[in-house]
Amino acid sequence: MHFEVENMKVLKFGGTSVGTAESIRKVKSIISSQRGRKIVVVSAMSGVTNLLVKLTEISVLQKDEINGFLKEIKQKHLDLILELFASETEQRAVSRQFEILFYQLQETVEDETRPDREASVVTFGETFLSFIFSNFLESQNLQNTLLDAKDFMHIANVENPDIDTVQQLLFKTLHREITSEVYITQGFVRIDRNKNVSTLNRGGSDYTATIIGAAVNASEVQIWTDIDGFHNNDPRYVEDTTALLNLSFEEAAELAYFGAKILHPQTVSPVKERNIPIYLKNTFTPNAPGTKISSEIISSGLKAISAKDGITAIKIKSNRMLMAHGFLKKIFEVFDKHETAIDMITTSEIAISLTIDDNRNLEKILYELDDYGEVTVDRDHSIICIVGEGVINDRETFRLFELLNDIPVRMISYGGSSNNISLLVDTHNKIEALRSLHHKLFEEKLVT
């Protein structure tokens, strides 16, 4: 059987989009309203992955706690089945099949000898939801084929997935399945280089969608969530934010990396090279335009502000070594050795300051840095990122420095990228900084 992938779309629906029977019905309507062939990537129901993560801590849990978490997960899905399926016959049939899947979860939780037990446990949320969702679509006369992502999401390197490998395995999977208008699969899960079950990290279903999109050379990838696309600031903290109709791949990547929760930080990279647009849409207001992310640059200058928490600033002061040949190389090698990425960096005559967002190896890093000078550490900081194509050339950008009048700024990164200016502030000043910048850069600009 020859499988055609021309004009294939990939649609991803997050946890809130599949969190209730009502929202799942909305998802069904969205899928039904779009012509052409589609691969639909689903997350776990809202809250389920958090419960599964707790189950991975079996060594510190009491037996009744484990049973309590299992019971809650099971009941959540059985209740969903009762709400979704109209006839008792369908309810019983789907519930029985779900019980078989649930038994597999119980076995996995108890198997402490399994090397990939934790990852296997936390990915059951996607397994459960995709199974229920596929059966629900069938009950609504929307024929579909359920695919197991573990058959083709073989990704040895999360940072740099081999799209060709995914493509070959996915096409092999599709060839042996019945040709369908709609394919359903799971986000988040992958098979690692050791052939063990692993994950694409929290929020990784977005990344699943763009990896699959690149593998089938999709016409577009749609990320459906509970917000109308990227906003020009964080709507959780700032009033009167507006959704952005268009972003370039570079702008979206900067915003996602520096804290915009709507998109997984690595989402853009698989489709950027293949020039496949991403659409961010709201499941609950599907007619809203959302945000289109593509290679098009509709306008330059300031676009949006985002913030990334959990930042640690490290300062190395050395009167005798800083300007010596090879000093910076030695500093960077310490971080490279401990696989810790650096976000921001500034230097002066006698000191270097840099930031990290991963503290897992912080003590080892500090121990080694101590050989190179006096080291100080500031925790609980946030990077505030001002993004836009050519933002450093925007005539209004100078106003962001007025923030220095009101809030202490620990570091500024300007000029490393023409699309991004970053400020480091203490996290307890983050919300005030976001609101102040919004007022100076967007609201006053509109008034004048």
Q: Average pLDDT, stretch 48-63?
A: 87
Q: What pLDDT, in 10s, does the model give residues 238-253? A: 999 999 999 999 999 9
The answer on pLDDT for 1 being more than 70 is: no
Q: Which two tokens stand for residue 203?
A: 């929020």
Cβ contacts of 371 within 8 Å, gap of 6 or more: none
The answer on pLDDT for 79 being more than 70 is: yes
Task: Give percent of the chain with pLDDT exceeding 90.
Answer: 75
Q: Which pLDDT score is estimated for 139?
A: 96
Q: Which pLDDT score is estimated for 446?
A: 52
Q: What pLDDT, in 10s, does the model give residues 250-306? A: 999 989 888 777 888 889 999 999 999 999 999 999 999 999 999 998 888 899 999
Name the residue with higher pLDDT: 236 or 448: 236
Domains 9-225 and 304-447 share a fold: no
355-364, 415-424, 439-448: which is most confident: 355-364
Q: Which pLDDT score is estimated for 26?
A: 97
Q: Which pLDDT score is estimated for 299?
A: 84
The domain locations on the chain are 9-225, 304-447
The answer on pLDDT for 361 being more than 80 is: yes
Name the CATH code of domain 9-225 (choices 3.30.70.20, 3.40.50.300, 2.60.40.1180, 3.40.1160.10): 3.40.1160.10
Q: What pLDDT, in 10s, does the model give residues 367-387? A: 999 988 899 999 999 999 999
Is 304-447 a domain of CATH 3.30.1330.10?
no
Band the pLDDT of 2: cuts 50, 70, 90. Answer: very low
Average pLDDT for the chain:
92
Q: Average pLDDT, stretch 29-43?
A: 96
